[in-house]
């Protein structure tokens, strides 16, 4: 290999340095392997005890030795989906504003604000969501919402503040920067001649965005949204603080629920034995879900770079 060849040729220090650098690269691989190994190892008790059935059972009652993961998977997917439903369009809207409308200075300021939004710690979102947002929703948002849509199962029941609804909104705010920043980069990468081509046909700014810019950037925007979904699925502290942590296949958004992450964080300090192993099994499930989502997002974004750039092929 190059390493030993280099040693023999006498570039000793260079080769050693390259080798050391390689070791650190290897370290990343080791960490990833270690994470998977530990998840597998620490969840072995639960995996052997419950088998695949754990994925389809929603009964969770450690006192009665009942361990089902379904309600947590359900809670994770539903809150993440709701969050992306809110943050997706708004995030892309912010990106569109930044790239297509905002003057240079506003652009920098707003870009900075979005960055700060990403920097606020998760637990602070949780505290704020519980003490500020939830009462606000209870007093000003839920009553009119129930007035109109209260008859649907989605919005039925009494709103207690700490609910799936509140958690999803906080999640939406938290992933907004991810969606906005990635889609901004994607929209920025759309060549100017695409916009010019559409404008020159007598298109308005919106038509130019809708018919030339967005289709061109579609895969990347989709990738941004999927990345946001992944972040929402793994977000822990804010949700733990707000969602109520009740393992249930809820139908109303005004009910309490639990996610994989919130269950681990909320129950860990008291857990031992099988319960602890079960929590780590939940971690394994969460890991698989987020990895799949992330790989999806990256594949989609990678496809973008292969898309014909409208360039000359002659």
Partner 1 sequence: MTMKRTEETMREEGRSGDREHRPNTRTTEVAGRSSGGVKSAEPVVTVENLSMYYGSFKALQDVNMRIDRNSVTALIGPSGCGKSTFIRSINRMHEIVPKARVEGKVILDGEDVYAPDVDPVRVRRKVGMVFQKPNPFPTMSIYDNVLAGIKLGGKRKKGELDEVVERTLRQAALWDEVKDKLKQGGTSLSGGQQQRLCIARTLAIEPEVILMDEPASALDPVSTQKIEDAMEDLKERYTVVIVTHNMQQAARISDYTGFFFIENMGDPGRLWEFDETSKMFSNPNRKETEDYVTGRFG
Partner 2 sequence: MSSIHGNPSGYGRRKLMDRVMTTLAYLCAAAAIIPLTWIIVYVVIKGLGAWDAEFFTGLPQLFGDGGGVRNGIVGTLVIVGLATLMGVPIGVMAGIYLAEYGNNRFGTVVRFLADTMTGIPSIVVGIFAFGLIVVNTGGFSAFAGSVALALLMIPVITRTTEEIIRLVPDSIREASLGLGVSRWKTILRVVVPTALSGIVTGVLLAVARVAGETAPLILTILGTNFPISANIFDGPSTTLSLQIYQLGAQPSPEVVEVAWGAAMLLVLIVLGTSILARVIFRGQSVRGR
Which residues bind to partner 1, rule: CB under 8 A? 103-104, 191-204, 207, 211-212, 215-216, 218, 307-314
Which pairing describes strands 66-67 and 60-61: parallel, antiparallel, or unpaired? antiparallel
Select the residue interacting with partner 2 from 225, 280, 300, 304 (CB under 8 A). 280
* 201 contact choice in partner 1, partner 2, none (CB below 5 to 8 Å, kind-dependent): partner 1
Q: How far is the CB of 90 from partner 1 (least distance, A)?
A: 24
Here the tokens at position 31 are: 């960490």
What's the closest the beta carbon of residue 242 comes to partner 2, in angstroms? 11
Q: Which residue, 27 or 196, has its beta carbon nearer to partner 2?
A: 27
Of residues 166 and 252, the one with the C-beta less far from partner 2: 166
Q: Is 79 in the site for partner 2 (CB under 8 A)?
A: no
Candidates 37, 78, 123; CA nearest to 257 is: 78
Cα–Cα nearest to 96, from 211, 175, 214: 214
- Asked if 98 touches partner 2 (CB under 8 A), the answer is yes
Size of the site for partner 2 (CB under 8 A): 90
**Can you list the alpha helix ranges (DSSP code H) found in the chain?**
2-9, 12-42, 44-50, 70-96, 104-119, 122-128, 134-136, 142-149, 164-188, 192-199, 205-208, 214-234, 237-242, 260-267, 273-306
From the CB of 64, what's the least distance to partner 2, in Å?
Answer: 25
**Nearest approach, Cβ of 312 to partner 2 (angstroms)?**
27
Q: What is the distance between the alpha carbons of residues 118 and 192, in angstroms, rounded to a whole number?
A: 29
Nearer residue to partner 2 within complex by CB, 16 or 200: 16
* Site for partner 2 contains 199 (CB under 8 A): no
End-to-end CA distance of the chain: 42
**Pair 237, 169: CB distance under 8 Å:** no
- Is 147 exposed, middle or buried (CB count within 10 Å of its CB: 0-12, 13-18, 19+)? exposed
Nearest one of 251, 232, 254 to 243, comparing CA atoms: 254
20 near partner 2, judged by CB under 8 A: yes
Q: Which of 10, 63, 269, 308 binds partner 2 (CB under 8 A)?
A: 269
Verify binding: residue 253, partner 2, rule CB under 8 A. Answer: no
Q: How far apart are CA 76 and CA 168, in angstroms?
A: 10
Residue 57 interacting entry, from partner 1, partner 2, none, C-beta within 5 to 8 Å by type = none
Per-residue tokens: 300: 């989609």
Q: Binding partner of residue 285 among partner 1, partner 2, none, CB under 5 to 8 Å per kind?
A: none
Per CB under 8 A, 233 contacts partner 2? yes
Stretch in the footprint of partner 2 (CB under 8 A) among 52-60, 64-72, 191-199, 231-239: 231-239
249, 235 in Cβ contact below 8 A? no
CB of 227 to partner 2, least distance (A): 7
104 contacts which partner out of partner 2, partner 1, none, CB within 5 to 8 A by kind?
Answer: partner 1
The three-class DSSP label of residue 254 is coil
Counts of helices then strands in the chain (DSSP H, E): 15, 2
> How far is residue 162's CA from residue 166's CA, in Å, rounded to a whole number?
6
Answer for which of 4, 27, 140, 160 binds partner 2 (CB under 8 A) is: 27
């Amino acid at each position: 290999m190059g390493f030993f060849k280099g040693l023999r040729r006498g570039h000793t220090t260079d080769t050693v340095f390259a080798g050391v650098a390689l070791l650190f690269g290897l370290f990343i691989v080791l960490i990833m392997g270690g994470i998977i190994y530990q998840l597998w190892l620490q969840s072995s008790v639960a995996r052997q005890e419950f088998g695949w059935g754990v994925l389809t059972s929603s009964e969770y009652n450690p006192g009665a030795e009942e361990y089902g993961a379904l309600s947590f998977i359900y809670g994770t997917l539903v809150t993440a989906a709701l969050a992306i439903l809110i943050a997706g369009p708004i995030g892309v809207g912010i990106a569109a504003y930044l790239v297509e409308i905002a003057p240079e200075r506003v652009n920098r300021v707003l870009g900075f604000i979005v960055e700060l939004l990403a920097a606020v710690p998760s637990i602070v979102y949780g505290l704020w969501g519980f003490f500020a947002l939830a009462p606000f929703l209870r007093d000003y948002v839920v009553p009119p919402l129930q007035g109109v849509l209260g008859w649907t199962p989605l919005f039925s029941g009494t709103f207690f503040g700490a609910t799936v609804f509140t958690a999803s909104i906080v999640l939406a705010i938290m992933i907004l920067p991810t969606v906005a920043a990635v889609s901004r980069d994607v929209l920025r990468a759309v060549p100017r001649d695409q916009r010019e081509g559409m404008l020159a046909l007598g298109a308005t700014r919106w038509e130019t965005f809708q018919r030339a810019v967005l289709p061109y950037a579609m895969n990347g925007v989709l990738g941004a949204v999927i990345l946001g979904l992944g972040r929402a699925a793994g977000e822990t502290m804010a949700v733990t603080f707000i969602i109520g942590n009740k393992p249930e296949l809820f139908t109303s958004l005004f009910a309490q629920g639990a996610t994989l992450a919130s269950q681990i964080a909320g129950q860990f300090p008291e857990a031992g034995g099988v319960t602890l192993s079960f929590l780590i099994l939940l971690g394994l499930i969460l890991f698989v879900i987020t990895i799949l989502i992330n790989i999806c997002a990256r594949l989609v974004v990678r496809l973008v770079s292969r898309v014909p750039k409208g360039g000359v092929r002659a």
